[in-house]
Amino acid sequence: MNRTPLTVGDTDYWTRRHLRDHLTQLGLEPGDAVMVHAGLRAIGPMLNGPDTLIEALQDILGPQGTLLCYVNWDQQYEDALDEDGRVPDALKPDIPPFNPATSRASRDHGAFAEFVRTTPGALRSGNPGASVVALGHNAAWFTADHPQDYGYGPGSPFAKLVEVGGKVLMVGAPLDTMSLLHHAEHLAQIPGKRIRRMEVPLQSGDSVNWRMIEEFDTCDPVVEGLAADYFGTVVEAFLATGQGRRGLIGKAPSVLVPAPAMVAFAVRWLEERLR
């Protein structure tokens, strides 16, 4: 496996070939369905930028694989909501509606999410806040029929990833940003889950429909008593059992975990502490 970057002058560059080798060594395989979170700066300079990582992933996954990315929605009006989650009438005419085909990925997820969203052939699910983009063989199935309420639960792309035995890849991304664990929060039988409601404009043909969407809180820990970054603690505990793999993608510390085992572990972790 090629671990040495291409050096030109004083700069090291990672190529599609390099990243493909690194992904293979970490354990990504042809035909996998994998949800990817990436902190691009951690990788180092890539020839052709973030598309190089996307192309390397597609090279490994092949025609039967699927690349997924949690993209959310860059709506930027949450601070204006009242205590019931409603938008002031004065703002409504000026808020662009959510359109799966055109609405930007949330800036909180970094540039990688928007690069995947705008890659030719990408499909996006229809739940604004929980929206997921998919590229590849099962993209249409992963993104179809995403429930508007409780969009991290059954029927969501997250649940489907577990169903097919998919994986989650963290490339230089903090482990506490593993969005699959919101699915574990939904499944865990624990008391006192916070519920969040938010009024959202949805594009429907030439019209806009405002809808109240209900979800377990994903902005803060789902219940009191958990640290804000507790997802990272759960992932580290999972890795300590010998499951999952660590390695480098470019210069980025990276982690690859099996989605079904990761969710089952997180559900047990929550229930043992909080039920």
Q: With cut-offs at 50, 70 and 90, classify the pLDDT of residue 8.
A: low
Q: Which of 50-59, 84-93, 159-168 has the lowest mean pLDDT?
A: 84-93
Using one digit for the tens of pLDDT, what is the confidence trace for 60-84? 999 999 999 999 998 889 889 998 9
Mean pLDDT on 136-159:
98
Angle, CA of 231, 234 and 237, to the nearest 5°: 150
Which residue in the block uniquely carries the two structure tokens 């990315």? 69
pLDDT exceeds cutoff 70 at 98? yes
Per the document, the length of the chain is: 275
pLDDT exceeds cutoff 90 at 255? yes
Using one digit for the tens of pLDDT, what is the confidence trace for 116-140? 999 999 999 999 999 999 999 999 9
- The fraction of the chain above a pLDDT of 70, given in percent, is 98
Strand partners, 202: 98, 209
pLDDT exceeds cutoff 70 at 2? no
Using one digit for the tens of pLDDT, what is the confidence trace for 10-21? 568 899 999 999
Amino acid, single-letter form, for residue 96: P
Mean pLDDT score across all residues of the chain: 95
How are beta strands 66-70 and 132-136 bridged, if at all? antiparallel
pTM score, whole prediction: 0.95
Closest CA to 107 of 134, 129, 74: 74
Q: With cut-offs at 50, 70 and 90, classify the pLDDT of residue 187.
A: very high
- What pLDDT sits at residue 1? 58
Distance CA 83, CA 227 (A): 24
- The fraction of the chain above a pLDDT of 90, given in percent, is 88
- What pLDDT sits at residue 132? 98
Is the distance from CB of 14 to CB of 43 less than 8 angstroms? yes
Distance CA 172, CA 90 (A): 41
